[in-house]
A and B are shown apart, each in its own frame.
Chain A
Amino acid sequence: MSVAESAGPVPVETAEAARAAAAGFKNVCGRLKAEVAKMFVGQHDVVDGVLTALLAGGHVLLEGVPGLGKTLLVRTLSEAVSLRFSRIQFTPDLMPADIQGTTVLTETAGGGHELSFQEGPLIANLVLADEINRATPKTQSALLEAMQERQVTIGRRTIILEEPYCVMATQNPVEQEGTYPLPEAQLDRFLLKLLVGYPAETEYHGILDRTTGAAVEAAQPVTDGAEIVRMRATVRAVAEPDPARTYAVRLVLATQPNSDHAPKSVTENAALGASPRGVQGLILAAKVRALLDDRFAIATDDIRAVALPVLRHRVLLNYRAQSANVTADALIEDVLAAVPAPNAVA
């Protein structure tokens, strides 16, 4: 029996049940954060982002230079949630069958041979796609079905992936020689794109304490897959008032060039804006944030807070922006400044 089947529906039909679910959500999140903090120092925004993607039912793309602990964060999180974890190191010669699985010839007990299917590393609960942009587009595309439909089709065999399922990919912004930038279709399937920066000076001491000393810390499981599935249901039950929903829609429209809400900078510098997946991502990520803030409905402030990680990889820049060093983050900042919240005064 899969984890999803064991979790079952979560009825949140009364205010009391909602309060209990929200309290449980916050409790588990706190424990998860504490467990991750044992291994991973600082980078609270990145940790919150990864947890948001996991609890909102999305995937996350981590981008940062080597040595910042991206892989460590994902591995620690998988240990803390006690889920089936697999790690795929993407290389240029990696083939789709290497990650999806293939039929191999095995020897039977009687000395005969038969063809049997061997699952690839993609079939797990938490998948770490390390340096995802080093694989060819053919192999990158093998992730599309798994990320969106939560299933893998190999020949005539279709494997339904077990919930919770989450792909956490990393990529390196430097050393772009020999890499294959992710196609837009795949970028759009990531709920968040988080930029991992260098830690602060005080955090370096904590890193040294944990990694160069004699004591070896290890993350312990604090929850399981069923709990994660219940938390995902709680997230989806958070109420959405109309002003916040309208604001999210307008923000996404404003990222599309030549739309009614788009500022001039977007029209001039963006080749492609966010899709309806962007609105879904804004609302889901805002719901997680509202729960962590002890609220039962999302607010426009939540939408604003998650706009950058949700939208930055969905805005495609044109040549003019690239030549002028205009970044997607700058355009989203312009969008946030140009689009007022509904009913906003002054």
Chain B
Amino acid sequence: MADSAELAANLDRVARRAQGAMRPWAWRQAAERGAEVLAPTATAVPLLVLAASVWGLFSGRSWWSLGVAPTIALAIALPLAYMLVATVLAYWRHPPTRAMGLAFHDHRLGLRDRLQAADFFLRAEAPSGFAQAAIEDAAGFAQRALAAELPKLQWRRPALRPGPWPLGVLALVALVIGLLLRGQSLALGDSAEDAGAGEVDNPVAAAPAAEQPDEEPAHRENRRSPAPRPAPRPSELFAFAADAGGERPPLGMGALPADFEPSETRAANAQASQAGLAAAGASSQSADQAPRPKRERTRKPAGKRRKPTEMRREESASSGVAGGSGTSAGSRLAASDHPAADNKARSDESQDDVEDDAEDEEDEEQKAAATRKPMLNNQKAPVDRSLTPAGIGDQERDDLNGRSGPGGLKKTRGVAAMLLGVPMPDHLRGKPNPGRVKVRRERSAPEEKAVQAVPAAARGRRDEAFGDINHMRLPPRARSTVRDYFLAQRQTTNNAKEEP
């Protein structure tokens, strides 16, 4: 019993020594485990910044209010803090235990688990004879472990696994892109207007602000997004001009420099000039959209209602036909170009309904004009009166009212339809269904047939090898498929082995 107590004390000392030596190693192991979460965590802040920037790109408002330096600091500090917590947790879960200390000595001194076994059997209630022998056997080895110099635990450098590194690169790229895109917005259609609306949330409240030259521009800048923007936008130019106390330039009629003219405005100008319409009207309409975005948003349903009419206008313009519709639209747009009328329309919303009624009347007038001059307004293709077989299969069109040429069915009666347009196979491949199998039973009397029996003595001696006996268990196609599969597998394996 005394020997057991002495052995237990020795094992305690051995284990404590080893635990002390293993503590730095255990911290490094914990740090290695903690570093595994570094890359995934590092993507959090960059992805948030990127999402905020992309959101701001389309909506004009970014909900990420931190500056560049705090953002970068947060992107670095957050994963580091998380890694620190993960490291502490990993160490707390896997500290160097007593058993690990004994196993460390067993392994270093080649003791074949004698110390661990003795420690295990010492705690057993009724150790067997072999367990007692193992305990006594370990006493000498425990003394040897105490006397031995503890080797320094080598820490192997963790292998560079490809797993987390792409995440780190992704985080860096996302952070850079997110920071570059901050404060920018797309100038596409309504989004540009929305972006302008994003700068000034309430245009009605913004108008007096634009008329107050004594307000500090920097003060209004603070109300906007704090991120710097690379280039000024037309709405900002207007606001800057108003802030400077200058007169607001007349909208349309080339009031904007070509560089700062919105793309939509330029497109409208080009379209109007091509159609021979009032280019200034179209331009003024587009330019007017910038300072009153809210009103345009409220009129969107009306715009939808007018959509067929606008489509007809575009068709007329593209076909080069200068109908009454184009002129009418131009005059209407030109009328709205007047600043006084514009202000009046902005102040009185009921004027919109009056304009919608006027547009409906114009649509009716266009329909009447189209009835009087059908060939000018009709965009249908000229009637094909040829007898080519191209018309085969066309459906008879009811809307032509008998004014069309021969239809597809009629054309098929012509000589041209006798040409074989579609190559048709002249026979069918494959095995037809054999149909029902008819079984007929016949009775016949057994017949005696001569048997060509070979006597055993005449058979000779079989002294030659049979050769390769091939067991045909699969049909040839299946054998070929299986063989190709295994050859491909082997080829893949060989290629993988050749490419370390």
Give the interface of A toward B (CB within 8 A). Answer: 12-19, 22, 177, 237-239, 241-244, 293, 295-297, 299-302, 320, 323-325, 341-346
| Cβ-defined contact, A237 with B129, below 8 A | yes
Closest to A237 in B: B130
Closest to B128 in A: A239
User: How far is A15 from B121 in the complex, measured between Cα atoms in Å?
Assistant: 13
Would you call B182 an interface residue if the criterion is a C-beta within 8 Å of the partner chain's C-beta atoms?
Answer: no
Would you call B92 an interface residue if the criterion is a C-beta within 8 Å of the partner chain's C-beta atoms?
Answer: no
| Cβ-defined contact, B133 with A15, below 8 A | yes
User: How far is A294 from B128 in the complex, measured between Cα atoms in Å?
Assistant: 17
Listed stretches B101-109, B271-279, B350-358, B371-379; interface member: B101-109
| Cβ-defined contact, A295 with B114, below 8 A | yes
User: How far is A344 from B103 in the complex, measured between Cα atoms in Å?
Assistant: 6
Closest Cβ–Cβ distance, residue A10 to chain B (whole Å): 10
Q: Chain B 481-500 against A: per-residue CB contact (8 Å), 1 yes, 0 no?
A: 00001100110010000000
Closest Cβ–Cβ distance, residue B101 to chain A (whole Å): 9
| Cβ-defined contact, A296 with B493, below 8 A | no
Q: Chain B 167-196 against A: per-residue CB contact (8 Å), 1 yes, 0 no?
A: 000000000000000000000000000000
Known: A239-B121, A241-B121. A299 touches B131 (CB 8 A): no
15 A-B pairs besides A239-B121, A241-B117, A301-B113 with CB distance below 8 A are A12-B129, A18-B128, A18-B130, A19-B133, A238-B130, A239-B130, A242-B120, A243-B120, A295-B114, A296-B137, A297-B121, A299-B117, A324-B493, A343-B99, A343-B116
Which 3 interchain pairs have the tightest Cβ spacing?
A: A299-B113, A323-B489, A343-B103
Contacts of A293 in B (CB 8 A): 112
| Cβ-defined contact, B134 with A239, below 8 A | yes
Known: A241-B117, A300-B113. A345 touches B100 (CB 8 A): yes
- A–B complex contacts, Cβ < 8 Å, 7 sampled: A243-B116, A293-B112, A295-B137, A296-B133, A297-B121, A299-B117, A344-B107
| Cβ-defined contact, A345 with B489, below 8 A | no
Cβ < 8 Å to A, chain B residues 228-273: none
Closest Cβ–Cβ distance, residue A339 to chain B (whole Å): 15
Closest Cβ–Cβ distance, residue B473 to chain A (whole Å): 13
| Cβ-defined contact, B137 with A343, below 8 A | no
Interface size class of B (residues with CB under 8 A): 35 or more
| Cβ-defined contact, B129 with A15, below 8 A | yes
| Cβ-defined contact, B130 with A297, below 8 A | yes
Closest Cβ–Cβ distance, residue B153 to chain A (whole Å): 7
Closest to B110 in A: A301
User: How far is A299 from B113 in the complex, measured between Cα atoms in Å?
Assistant: 5
Known: A241-B113, A297-B117. A15 touches B132 (CB 8 A): yes
Known: A295-B112, A343-B97. A13 touches B129 (CB 8 A): yes
Contacts of B22 in A (CB 8 A): 345
Q: Which one of B103, B127, B134 lies within 8 Å of A295 (CB-CB)?
A: B134
| Cβ-defined contact, B490 with A323, below 8 A | yes
Contacts of B135 in A (CB 8 A): 15
Would you call B156 an interface residue if the criterion is a C-beta within 8 Å of the partner chain's C-beta atoms?
Answer: yes
Q: Which one of B25, B129, B132, B485 lies within 8 Å of A345 (CB-CB)?
A: B25
User: How far is A77 from B31 in the complex, measured between Cα atoms in Å?
Assistant: 57
Closest to B100 in A: A343
Contacts of A341 in B (CB 8 A): 103
Q: Which of A19, A341, A343 is packed against the most chain B CB atoms within 10 Å?
A: A343
Closest to B96 in A: A345
Q: Chain B 77-104 against A: per-residue CB contact (8 Å), 1 yes, 0 no?
A: 0000000000000000000010110111
Closest Cβ–Cβ distance, residue B369 to chain A (whole Å): 77
Contacts of A325 in B (CB 8 A): 490, 493
User: How far is A238 from B121 in the complex, measured between Cα atoms in Å?
Assistant: 12
User: How far is A295 from B114 in the complex, measured between Cα atoms in Å?
Assistant: 8
Closest Cβ–Cβ distance, residue B481 to chain A (whole Å): 13
| Cβ-defined contact, B129 with A297, below 8 A | no
Would you call B154 an interface residue if the criterion is a C-beta within 8 Å of the partner chain's C-beta atoms?
Answer: yes
| Cβ-defined contact, B120 with A346, below 8 A | no
Contacts of B100 in A (CB 8 A): 343, 345
User: How far is A300 from B102 in the complex, measured between Cα atoms in Å?
Assistant: 14
| Cβ-defined contact, A239 with B117, below 8 A | yes
Cβ < 8 Å to A, chain B residues 53-99: 97, 99
User: How far is A131 from B135 in the complex, measured between Cα atoms in Å?
Assistant: 46
User: How far is A323 from B491 in the complex, measured between Cα atoms in Å?
Assistant: 10
Closest to B106 in A: A299
| Cβ-defined contact, A17 with B153, below 8 A | no
User: How far is A316 from B107 in the complex, measured between Cα atoms in Å?
Assistant: 33
Closest to A236 in B: B130
User: How far is A14 from B127 in the complex, measured between Cα atoms in Å?
Assistant: 9
| Cβ-defined contact, B117 with A17, below 8 A | no
User: How far is A14 from B154 in the complex, measured between Cα atoms in Å?
Assistant: 41
User: How far is A17 from B132 in the complex, measured between Cα atoms in Å?
Assistant: 10
Q: Chain B 116-153 against A: per-residue CB contact (8 Å), 1 yes, 0 no?
A: 11001100000111111111110000000000000001
User: How far is A327 from B393 in the complex, measured between Cα atoms in Å?
Assistant: 66
User: How far is A270 from B136 in the complex, measured between Cα atoms in Å?
Assistant: 43
Contacts of A320 in B (CB 8 A): 489
Would you call B465 an interface residue if the criterion is a C-beta within 8 Å of the partner chain's C-beta atoms?
Answer: no
Closest to B104 in A: A345
Contacts of A346 in B (CB 8 A): 25, 153-156
| Cβ-defined contact, A243 with B489, below 8 A | no
| Cβ-defined contact, A18 with B132, below 8 A | yes
Would you call B445 an interface residue if the criterion is a C-beta within 8 Å of the partner chain's C-beta atoms?
Answer: no
Q: Which of A17, A18, A293 is packed against the most chain B CB atoms within 10 Å?
A: A18
Q: Which one of A18, A295, A324, A344 lies within 8 Å of B129 (CB-CB)?
A: A18
Contacts of B97 in A (CB 8 A): 343
| Cβ-defined contact, A243 with B132, below 8 A | no
Q: Which of B103, B133, B156 is packed against the most chain A CB atoms within 10 Å?
A: B133
Closest Cβ–Cβ distance, residue B183 to chain A (whole Å): 48
Would you call B418 an interface residue if the criterion is a C-beta within 8 Å of the partner chain's C-beta atoms?
Answer: no
Cβ < 8 Å to A, chain B residues 202-237: none
Would you call B311 an interface residue if the criterion is a C-beta within 8 Å of the partner chain's C-beta atoms?
Answer: no
Closest Cβ–Cβ distance, residue A98 to chain B (whole Å): 27
Contacts of A237 in B (CB 8 A): 128-130
